[in-house]
Amino acid sequence: MKQLLKNLVLTAGTISEHITEAPSVLFLQILRKLPSKVVRPLARRLTALAPASSHPLFLLASHAAGDTTGLDRRFTDAAKNGVSRERARNAAEVAIAAGLPEWADVFLPLAAGAPRTPATLARRKWYDGDMSGAVVVLADERGSMAKQRQRLESEVRVFQGWKPSLPATPTTPQPRKVLHLLTNSVPHTGSGYARRSHSILTAQQAEGWEALAVTRLGYPVQIGSLTARERDVVDGVCYERLLPARMATSMDGRLQQQAEGVLRIARRFRPAVLHTTTHFVNGLVAREVAGALNIPWAYEVRGQLADTWASTRGEAARSSERYALFTEREADVMRSANLVVTLGESMKRNIVASGIDGKKVLICPNAVGGNYLDEPLEHADARRALGLEPDSLYIGTVSSLVDYEGLDDLVSAFALLAPRLPKLKLVLVGDGTAAPALQDQVRRLGLMDRTIFAGRVPPTQARLYHLSLDVFVVPRKDLAVTRAVTPLKPVEALASGRPVVASDLDALREIVHDGVNGQVAKAEDPEGLAEVLHGLLIDADLRRRLGDAGRQEVLATRTWQANARAYIRAYENLGV
């Protein structure tokens, strides 16, 4: 009961902060946490009540419904017909929250003079990565906008090199103990990040090490898990939570709280090594805790998060203040780590190019374990278990539904294939910010009856979807982040004995070998993707041959147990 009360106080503080500063962002975050099968039909009904309204409620509902055409029409009508200054400011707020800055630029001049317009202008600058410019806009403001300025100033300090301060408290480390600092974890998050972490932890324990994980300050209460406890045990792995009743209002204050909490747990656990993951704020905390304990630490680079951020904003974002500071902090953290771990050769090349000694970089690729090691079910059996028609043809993916995954190109390719292959169906498993637009695209193409949006599913069902597909597709856009970062899901598809068709990008070619375990297609080319898929879909023997080869390679080179042994050897080379 005591922990529940603390969680409620923490949640109330988070909600209060967002309602005061960015209610549109809070509203969209809440909607994204709710089941999409419920939210989107309700949002469509709501928008039908006022088809022409530019009230922020209906703008947000149009976005939540995936009605990109309707949202654009509402914005156009509001700009053309004229709105009050406050209504224009609200429209700009919704546009920023929805990732449509061009519309914010239309409405901000119309909002001049409205209360809180500086706050909206600051958010617009922050969206582009102009961090200092956002602070300057709020320089003379009072009240809630002064609090917003202070919050932004604290984040700028962190990006400019601030670090936590901890007293030296060396302990006697215990052999074969590793403490992991994580951003999120199972059972509250089912992302590829959380699943990779859990696989590493369980594999290390299977190798005779004791592994303990600590998640970031406030998690998982801040993502809506009000009944979260201070400790979860999943498959024998212990996850400790840092759940104070109140969190500092600034980014540096919260990281200081987190560092003190991690140090407190580490002094009790007495690890021989500390292991954390991107992004750099985890590294800041891990570095200071390891230094206080006088033990080595490892930094695992699972993505290029500066490039992930820039991928949603266009090429200009890569010249922004935020991008420059982000990449500097990542390089600084990697330089100071005793060991750097990453997922593949493309990522290692980028790490070395940033000035990191290649000799301390270890590649531990995305891998498989558990049920993926078992003999795969036949397609028809997996489909029956999911309630799918056993005799149809299925293409699709299991992924986060975000823009850089290129799933709009997959939908376009499916539209080209559908008339040629009457039994073909498209399966999209997962959810994300691109989901509403994808549903709208499928609806406009008249293919809803042949498309399955499964939403988020538990790991056991995810494996069944892998097994049900004839071809697994990874149609990623050609971006800096996708050229470097190797995803987990196609590895699981290969382990399931299913061929993979992927965009012809460096990181994906490390997984998909053209003509061996799958095929590659030019990125952002739906017509070319359709032709590659068609060749596979009409040749069952080729699909089977590629799938068998893919499974054999994964089992030989990409298992979590092999990775765990590589981690342990690397720890031992640090003198652990």
pLDDT tens-digit readout, 380-413: 999 999 999 999 999 999 999 999 999 999 999 9
Q: Which CATH number fits domain 375-558: 3.40.50.2000, 3.40.250.10, 1.10.3720.10, 3.40.50.150?
A: 3.40.50.2000
H-run or E-run covering 212: strand 210-217
State the Cα–Cα distance between residues 258 and 64, nearest whole angstrom.
34
Domain 177-363 sits in CATH 3.80.10.10: no
* pLDDT tens by residue, 297-335: 999 999 999 999 999 898 899 999 999 999 999 999 999
Tokens representing 39?
A: 């939210």
Task: Examine the pLDDT at 554 and tell me if it is beyond 80.
Answer: yes
Per DSSP, the residues of 91-119 read HHHHHHHTT-HHHHHHHTGGGTTSTTHHH
The reported pLDDT for the residue numbered 18 is 67
d(Cα 429, Cα 411) in Å, to the nearest integer? Answer: 13
- What is the average pLDDT score of the chain? 94
**CB-CB contact of 475 with 413 (8 Å):** yes
Q: Would you state the pLDDT for residue 488?
A: 93
Whether the predicted pLDDT of 573 surpasses 90: yes
DSSP assigned state of 245: S
Q: What is the mean pLDDT of residues 205-225?
A: 96
pLDDT in tens, 119-157: 999 999 999 999 999 999 999 999 999 999 999 999 999
Chain centroid to CA 284: 20
Note the pLDDT tens digit of each residue in 263-286.
999 999 999 999 999 999 999 999
- How confident is the model over 218-273, as pLDDT tens digits? 999 998 899 999 999 999 999 999 999 999 999 999 999 999 999 999 999 999 99
| pLDDT tens readout for residues 413-465 | 999 999 999 999 999 999 888 998 899 899 999 999 999 999 989 989 999 99
User: Cα–Cα distance between 187 and 189 in angstroms, integer?
Assistant: 6
Per-residue pLDDT, 31: 73
Helix axes 321-336, 280-293, angle to 10 degrees: 30
CA distance 547 to 497: 4
Degrees, nearest 5: CA angle 301-174-204: 45
Q: Sorting pLDDT into bands at 50, 70 and 90, what band is 557?
A: very high
The residue-averaged pLDDT of 487-502 equals 97
- CATH 3.40.50.2000 maps onto the chain at 177-363, 375-558
Q: Which one-letter amino acid corresponds to residue 54?
A: S
